Chains A and B, each alone.
Chain A
């Protein structure tokens, strides 16, 4: 991948999208081939690679407040106690959760919980962000809002992103490059470059002829794989 690139992975269920992400995260080890980061093989997860899980409820600590959850990443990163409150404040504001610092995850909506998880990931100051269908469990309105938020956050930090989704529109909307996987065994079936202007806009970009062309291409690909 190129640094700062936004890669989206799509594919029918069971073709290995999540597995690919876990390999990139260093949570699994490859049986053949290698995963490298900055030229070094990925033998285990690293703090510079942040993972946003789909089941946000399970990835947050229910016994800590929102501030506490973000703090976990700072504690792991060795940030001193005095520096933490300011950083937590800034991060929560960045993801649109100002003033919710003392709430427990159970008291927050799904969209807010996912934003909290993103805040915790950003606290790692990651070079790469791996997102596994992060908006899959949310309603359409929330999803669109979060898509734009993620784009602006990523643009500001210049992180490299791998984004797994089953939503073709989302993949094209967000990505610089879209990869479609084939199942049994999981492998790359199609690779599309997304030459749409940035910053993206929910209405304008989705009506762009290039968007529609890519959409048709991906749709045909998925349809073919499901046969």
Chain B
């Protein structure tokens, strides 16, 4: 990073630290009741406590597991179904409009149906998370497959490439920027739905932790959990972006 950029970064961190200091002042002067707003010092203490006792750690793993299983299932299914639909024009004509119609609908509304079908179980959570996470991936895959440069298909025909080879060597790599972007969006959805399912079904995870903390008015633990959820969202998103950049290194040279 250039010298100027580093200075700005440091200044930006200083501003953020300033906000935290402000937060601490508000807590110290009890401008808001400590039952609702613990100071950053208490939240931090709770974080340390939670990790050293292993409680928060197991909750974090719980949420990450829910996210991971649902997201992986959604990725595999979403790419497979999206590839099928996206690579065939008749399927695109008949199926894609219905999917576009379903896109903006609140995915959480499927939760009661899932509860009715599976009860308040891990299975219900997996279904809900996978169902919610599949949409961005599937729609992105369809779009990616539909947008493959037609010239490349002619090259493939000229080389007499098999159907499978065309899908894996031409369509999939061509659609990969779209697919990876969709997978990144799905991560966010997976996190949100994990938290909701944990709150509803009392499953082991950060969502359950923050709910219990709220019920017991343990505001420091509550804030610690919320901060941890923010960190989880941030880290998973950054990890995904880094993976994207590595896999799409060839695109960088195109810009």
Question: Quick check: do A and B touch in the complex, using CB within 8 A?
Answer: yes
A residues less than 8 Å from B25 (CB atoms): none
Shortest C-beta distance, B239 to chain A (Å), equals 22
* B253, A107: Cβ atoms closer than 8 Å: yes
Binds A, one of B100-108, B149-157, B193-201: B149-157
In the complex, are the beta carbons of B160 and A45 less than 8 A apart? yes
Q: Is the CB of A63 within 8 A of B176?
A: yes
The answer to whether B169 and A72 touch across the interface, beta carbons within 8 angstroms, is yes
Instruction: Kindly state the separation between the CA atoms of A96 and B97 in the bound complex, as whole angstroms.
Output: 49
- From DSSP, what is the main secondary structure of chain B's interface residues? helix
**What is the CA–CA distance of A53 and B155 in the complex, to the nearest angstrom?**
9
**CB-CB under 8 A for A53 and B151, given A61-B173, A72-B169, A104-B253:** yes
Interface residues on A, range: 20 to 34
A2 CB–B CB distance under 8 Å: no
B218 CB, min distance to chain A CBs, angstroms: 51
Q: Which of B151, B157, B174, B248 contacts A59 (CB 8 A)?
A: B151
Contact B158 A51 (CB under 8 A): yes
Q: List, in ascending order, chain A residues with CB within 8 A of B174's CB.
A: 63
Residues of A within 8 A of B254 (CB): 62, 104, 106
Cβ contacts A58-94/B at 8 Å (1 or 0 each):
1101111000000011011100000000000000000
User: A27 at interface (Cβ–Cβ under 8 A)?
Assistant: yes
B159 with A27: CB separation less than 8 A = no
| Residue A50 lies at the interface, judged by CB distance under 8 Å to chain B | yes
- Give the residue of B152, B158, B165, B253 whose beta carbon is less than 8 angstroms from that of A61: B152
List B contacts of A44 (CB < 8 A).
157, 160
Q: Give the A-B contact count at a CB cut-off of 8 A.
A: 64
Q: Which residues of A contact B176 (CB under 8 A)?
A: 63
B170 within 8 Å of A (CB atoms): yes
Closest A-chain residue to B177, C-beta based?
A63
In chain B, what residue has the closest Cβ to A54? B151
Number of residues from B at the complex interface, CB < 8 A: 21
Give the residue name and chain of the B residue nearest to A103 (CB): B253
The answer to whether A59 touches B159 (Cβ under 8 A) is: no
B169 — which chain A residues lie within 8 A by C-beta? 61, 72, 75
A25:B158 contact, CB within 8 angstroms: yes
Closest to A73 in B: B159
Task: Say yes or no: is A113 at the interface (Cβ < 8 Å to chain B).
Answer: no
Contact of B61 with A by CB under 8 A: no
Please, how many angstroms separate the alpha-carbon atoms of A46 and B155 in the complex?
11
A 188-225 contacts with B by CB, 8 A: none
Q: Which residues of B contact A73 (CB under 8 A)?
A: 159
Q: List A contacts of B8 (CB < 8 A).
A: none
Residues in A whose Cβ lies below 8 Å from that of B113: none
Contact of A76 with B165 at beta-carbon distance under 8 Å, contacts A55-B151, A61-B173 already known: yes
Query: Using Cβ atoms and an 8 Å threshold, which residues of chain B touch A53?
Result: 151, 154-155
A45 & B253 in contact (Cβ 8 Å cutoff): no
B248 CB contacts on chain A under 8 angstroms: 63
CB interface residues, A 26-66, toward B, < 8 Å: 27, 44-47, 49-51, 53, 55, 58-59, 61-64
Give Cα A124 to B156, complex, Å.
Answer: 12
Instruction: Give 27 CB contacts A-B under 8 Å.
Output: A27-B158, A44-B157, A45-B157, A47-B158, A47-B159, A49-B158, A51-B154, A51-B155, A53-B151, A55-B151, A58-B149, A58-B151, A58-B152, A59-B151, A61-B170, A62-B250, A62-B251, A63-B173, A63-B250, A64-B173, A72-B169, A75-B165, A76-B160, A77-B159, A104-B250, A104-B254, A106-B253
Chain B residues packing against A (C-beta within 8 Å): 149, 151-152, 154-155, 157-161, 165, 169-170, 173-174, 176, 248, 250-251, 253-254
Q: Interface on A for B, CB 8 Å cutoff?
A: 25, 27, 44-47, 49-51, 53, 55, 58-59, 61-64, 72-73, 75-77, 104, 106-107, 124
